[in-house]
Amino acid sequence: MSARRALAALLALAALLPAAADARISPPPLAAQAAAVLESSTATPLFGRAADQRRLIASTTKMMTALVTVASTRLDRVCAAPPYPAGPLEVTIHLRPGERMRVSDLLRAMLLPSANDAAATLAACVAGSRAAFVARMNARARQLGLRRTHFSTPVGLDTPGNYASADDLARLAIAVRADPFLRHTVAAPRAVLHSGDHVRVVVNRNALVREVPWVDGVKTGHTNAAGDILAASGTQGGTTYVATVLGDPSEGAAAADALALLRWAFASFRVRTPVRRGAIYARPTVKLDPGRHVDVVAAGSARLVLARDARVRLAVAVPRELAGPLPARHVVGAVTVRANGRVVERVPLVTRVAVPKVGVLAQVGHALAGPGSLVAIAALLGGAGALLLRARGARRRERRRADMETA
């Protein structure tokens, strides 16, 4: 049995094994020198081994090449291939200098078999030169907050200044999967390239995508200096985790490490939304108008990655009554989320609509409805009478002053 077929059989068997029932299992042993696991929708880090260490990243560099390309040009644009003097071990699709291919097909060739000539063609076509394209790559890295990442090539061959950390690489993979075309591409086992001088069929180098049904990306990498690298994503039940492994001793070891980390993440964690934006969490009364209630809603959602056995409790803190006037979406309290007794999130609670000031008539109505109503009415009327008398006295004084000034 060939090494590739043995790897495929091993991965298929691992994918069929049930996830561990105990959510407190330890992360799996790894051959990789650095690794990270993040939940995709929140970018919550769940595991790290030397995750902030700068390392060579080989062809996983092409994830940024793809991201810059889709942000810079149309997928149906046609690019002419520049001369690309490939080394004897480089992966290419043998583009002839001047051969014309659509951007969409060049992206498929670059992301699936990891064709270096496709990456070089995209860089020249999109930015006019390799240097200008690399500048865009680094600008995009800064926008994404990848603080331990720098690029010096669109291809990924080992060059000074081309590196990333395991954590940054996972965040880059999440950004790639956010683009619909790239997400669909990296999840494909193979693709047919119809543009160019002739039809080409390319196969995804990521064995996990080919062999494990729920693995849906994203990119492989290898050089002698970097070792084997894999950024892998898996989706089950609407939740996606991304695992990166760097510096593995072989392609098979990288695939096994990444799959083990993904399975560990699914077995150990789940995504929960205990607080949802706009949901009502309290209905306090309005001061001096107890028949009126105010809907108090969450200002945002709390989407959290929690251990599967975590006990979640909510504590709502809102006054029993509110005094107007208050504008709509005025903060009047908070809902606190605790997991196993530990505070993990606080979300402000706001008024859904404006709360008006209660007028004198409503206050009279409240007084009539409550105990001691005669005393309350007398107090209200007395207060109103006093206000009227003061107003009349003020007007009289103004008239006398005016008469004296006229005289």
Give me the chain's average pLDDT, please.
89
pLDDT tens column, 385-399: 554 556 566 666 666
pLDDT tens column, 265-290: 999 999 999 999 999 999 999 999 98
pLDDT band with cut points at 50, 70 and 90 for residue 13: very low
User: Where do the structural domains in the chain lie, given as residue ranges?
Assistant: 3-268, 276-351, 360-406
pLDDT number for residue 25: 78
pLDDT number for residue 369: 54
pLDDT band with cut points at 50, 70 and 90 for residue 358: confident
Spatial distance between the Cα atoms of 277 and 20, rounded to a whole number of angstroms: 33
User: For the domain 3-268, what is the CATH code?
Assistant: 3.40.710.10
Q: Which residues pair with 221 in a beta bridge?
A: 229
Q: How many CB atoms lie within 10 A of CB 55?
A: 20
> Cα–Cα distances in Å, from 86 out to 21, 96, 102, 118, 378?
49, 12, 21, 11, 97
pLDDT number for residue 382: 54
Spatial distance between the Cα atoms of 82 and 334, rounded to a whole number of angstroms: 59
User: Given the structure tokens 């150990």, which residue do they identify?
Assistant: 268
Spatial distance between the Cα atoms of 177 and 94, rounded to a whole number of angstroms: 27
> Which residues have a Cβ under 8 Å from the Cβ of 188 and sit 6 or more positions away?
108, 112, 204, 209
pLDDT tens column, 132-159: 999 999 999 999 999 999 999 999 999 9
- From the CA atom positions of the chain, what is the Rg in Å? 32
pLDDT number for residue 301: 97
Q: Residue 405: pLDDT above 50? A: no
User: For the domain 276-351, what is the CATH code?
Assistant: 2.60.410.10
DSSP string, 36-104: EEEETTTTEEEEEESTT--B--GGGGHHHHHHHHHHHS-TT-EEEPPP----TT-----PPTT-EEEHH
DSSP label of 268: H
pLDDT tens column, 18-61: 343 344 579 999 999 999 999 999 999 999 999 999 999 999 99
Q: Residue 128: pLDDT above 80? A: yes
In terms of DSSP bridges, do strands 285-286 and 289-293 run parallel, antiparallel, or are they unpaired? antiparallel
Predicted TM-score (pTM) of the model is 0.83
Does this chain's domain 3-268 share its CATH topology with 276-351?
no
pLDDT number for residue 2: 55
pLDDT number for residue 228: 98
Structure-block tokens of residue 193: 């390239």
Peptide bond into 343 cis (omega under 30): no
pLDDT tens column, 170-221: 999 999 999 999 999 999 999 999 999 999 999 999 999 999 999 999 999 9
Structure-block tokens of residue 135: 């500048």
How much is the average pLDDT of 99-104? Answer: 98
Q: Residue 352: pLDDT above 50? A: yes
